[in-house]
Copies of this chain bind each other. A is one copy, B any other.
Amino acid sequence: MAKKAKCSERHTLLLTNDDGIHAMGLCALYEALKADFDVYVVAPEAERSAVGHAITLVDPLRVKSIKRNGRHFGWAINGTPADCVKLAVHEIVKDKIDFVVSGINIGANVGINILYSGTVSAATEAAMLGIPAMAISLNTLKDPDFCTTAYIAPRLVRWAIELGLPKGIALNVNVPAGPPNSIKGMKWVKQGLSPYKEQFDKRIDPRGNVYYWQASQEILHKEADDIDSVALNKDYITVTPIKYDLTAYEYLDKFDFPSCF
C-alpha cells in the first residue's frame, strides 16, 4: 500500500482523456475538480478514441497552450492519451503529480473493450509511471449529461488519494447515465471477458472500391452480476482495479517445450 495522504493537503492532479482537449466531458471534469485540486490539463489536440495504449515514436510531439475564456486552460498534444501522460509527467508539469484522472469518456469502458480504450490506457500509463490514477466513463453515447459524474468525481478522487492505491493499480470507473436518484450505489466488479459478436459493414465508395466500417458489437454470453457491464446496466457505479501485468501465471512452466535444436 502507498502511504496514505492527509485529508487536508491540496493535491495536484493531471487531467487527460481520449476525446480531445475540447471535449465536453473533460471540461465538466475540470470544472468539478478545480475548486478542490490544482488541476493540470494535458490532452490530445483532437479525438483519439480506441487508440488503446498506442504511443508516438515515429513522429515528433508538439505541445500547444489552449485558452478558454481568455485564460490558459491546458496543453494540447498531437499524440495519444498515453503520450499525454508521459509528456506531462516528464516535461510539462513541474509539480509532483499526485493523481491522474482520465475522462469523462462518452461511452462505457467495460469488458474486453477496455483493451482498446485510450481513456483507460491513460490511467494504466500513469500506474506504470508510479502515479495512482482513475479512468471515468459515462454509460451513454448520445446526449451525455455529465452532472452526476462531475458531482461524484471529486469525492471519488479524494477517496482514492486518501486510500493510497496499491502500486501499479489504476481504477476503471463507469457511471450510469441516469439522474442521481436512479443510481443504486457503487460496486467492485471484474472486467467482463465474454467475446462480442463483431460485424464489419462492407460498402462500395463512389469510385467502385470496397471499404469496411467496424460496426455493431453484441455480447455473446450472459454474464454474472459481479461483471462490469452487467452491474453498470443495473444502475451501479462500477469500479474495477486494473493492472498492467499481462502474465498468465497459471500457465508458466506448465508445458514442456519442443526440441528445436
Binding site for B on A (CB under 8 A): 47, 49-58, 60-63, 82-83, 86-87, 90-91, 112, 114-116, 121, 124, 128-130, 151-152, 155-156, 158-159, 163, 166, 168-169, 180, 183, 185-186, 188-191, 193, 195, 198-200, 202-203, 205, 209-214, 237, 239-249, 251-255, 257-258, 260-261
Contacts and interface: CB of A to CB of B under 8 A. Distances in A.
Nearest to A193: B245
Contacts of A47: 58
Contacts of A114: 246
Contact of A195 (B49, B129, B183, B255): B129
23 contacts: A50-B56, A50-B58, A52-B121, A53-B116, A60-B211, A60-B212, A61-B211, A86-B200, A91-B200, A112-B128, A115-B121, A115-B244, A152-B261, A156-B260, A158-B258, A166-B248, A169-B248, A169-B251, A189-B252, A191-B245, A237-B260, A241-B248, A241-B254
A138 to B, nearest CB: 15
A260 B212 contact: no
Contact of A166 (B195, B242, B247, B251): B251
Determine which residue in A55, A56, A163, A199 has the highest number of CB atoms from chain B within 10 A of its CB, and name it.
A55
Contacts of A257: 159, 185-186, 239
Contact of A247 (B49, B63, B241): B241
Contacts of A214: 55-57, 61, 83, 86
A128 B116 CA distance: 12
A62 B209 contact: yes
